[in-house]
Amino acid sequence: MLACRSGAEEGNLDREPALQFFILSTFAPLITLAMTIPGSQQKIILRYSTEWADIAVREDQIVEVQLFPKAYSKSRVSAVINKIKEITGRSNLLVLIKAHPKSTVTIDGLNSVFSKPNITYSTAKAYVLPMAWQFAIAKTARLFFKPKKPIRFFRTHDAAETWLSSFRGYGI
């Protein structure tokens, strides 16, 4: 069996040896275990990078997604969400999505963000949108699509974290 221990994470990884083996054997070149998120006290237990986003599963079970300065079409939105589903293997997630100031979304990408398959994989999603135009588009889209799952948009990381952490205990 592969041994992967690092400080406080020692107990977490040893409880799921089959999962540990699967993760390390499948994603070893792309994963970093037990890192600290800059500006946060949370430890990352799994990190995966794609050409569209960095995805980190934190020890508090929040999935943090950092988007890159790209245009997100339907296929890119779906690719990021499918990767989150694949690496976590769960559907009751708390997801924190941080947009880059130069990230954009196409009309079909926006439709994809609010589509049923891409809404139902999480318990709640918080988006950190640094630009006023990103925030305005997202708020307008939420009013138009009326998603059944909680989705909120924030200008600051701290506000998004606070709101998202209020959902702990809802099947998480």
The pLDDT tens digits for 86-140 are 888 877 789 999 999 999 999 999 999 999 888 888 899 999 999 999 999 999 9
55 with 47: CB under 8 angstroms? yes
Tell me if 17 is assigned to some domain: no
pLDDT per position as a tens digit, 2-31: 333 333 443 444 445 445 444 444 443 344
Share of the chain above pLDDT 70, in %: 74
| Residue scoring higher pLDDT (148 or 169) | 148
Higher pLDDT, 169 or 81: 81
On whether residue 123 sits in a domain, the answer given is: yes
Q: Which domain holds residue 154?
A: 34-165
> What does the block give as tokens for 128?
């950190």
Give the whole-angstrom CA distance, residue 119 versus residue 133. Answer: 22
Q: What is the CATH number of the domain that holds 119?
A: 3.30.750
- Given a cut of 80, whether residue 41 has pLDDT beyond it is no
In a domain, 128, yes or no: yes
Model confidence at 52: pLDDT above 50: yes
Residue 10 lies in a domain: no
**What's the rounded Cα separation, in Å, for the pair 126 and 153?**
6
Determine, yes or no, domain membership for 16: no
Half-sphere exposure of 77 (CA within 13 A, CB side): 21
- Residue 135 in any domain: the answer is yes
> CA 12, 17, 22, 28 torsion: positive or negative?
positive
Provide the number of structural domains found in the chain.
1
How far is it, in rounded angstroms, from Cα 59 to Cα 43? 6
- Res 143 pLDDT > 70: yes
- H helix runs in 32-106, sequence order: 74-88
Q: What is the pLDDT of residue 110?
A: 92
Q: Does residue 27 form part of some domain?
A: no
> Does 171 reside within a domain?
no
Assigned token pair, 106: 């196409």
